[in-house]
Amino acid sequence: MNPVLYLAQRGTAAILGFAVTIHLATMIYATRSGLTAGDIFVRTKDNWWFLSFYALFVLAAAIHAPIGLRSVLREWTSWHGRSLDIAMIGFSTLLVVLGLRAAFAVFLA
Partner 1 sequence: MTAETSKPGVAAAAEALTVRVWRGAESGAFQSFQIRLRANQTVLDVVTEIQREQDATLSYRFACRVGMCGSCAMVVNGRPRWTCRTRAAAVAEADVLTLEPLRNLPIVKDLAVDMEPFFEKWRKAHGYFEPGEDAAKDFALVSPDEPGRREADAGVECINCGVCYSACDVVSWNPDYLGPAALNRAWTLVNDVRDQGQDARLDAVSGDAGCHSCHSHMSCTEFCPKTLGPTFAIAGLKRATIGRALRRKG
Residues that bind partner 1 (CB under 8 A): 1-7, 71, 74-76, 80
Q: Which is nearer to partner 1, 36 or 83 (CB)?
A: 83
CB-CB contact of 93 with 56 (8 Å):
no
Closest CA to 37 of 104, 106, 108: 106
DSSP H stretches of helix in 1-109: 3-32, 37-44, 48-76, 82-108
Least distance from partner 1 to the Cβ atom of residue 76, Å: 7
What's phi and psi for 45, nearest 5 deg? -65, 130
91/85 Cα distance (integer angstroms): 10
Any idea what DSSP says for residue 33?
Answer: T
Q: Which is nearer to partner 1, 45 or 80 (CB)?
A: 80
Least distance from partner 1 to the Cβ atom of residue 83, Å: 14
Least distance from partner 1 to the Cβ atom of residue 105, Å: 35
Q: Which is nearer to partner 1, 29 or 79 (CB)?
A: 79
Q: Which is nearer to partner 1, 49 or 76 (CB)?
A: 76
Least distance from partner 1 to the Cβ atom of residue 13, Å: 14
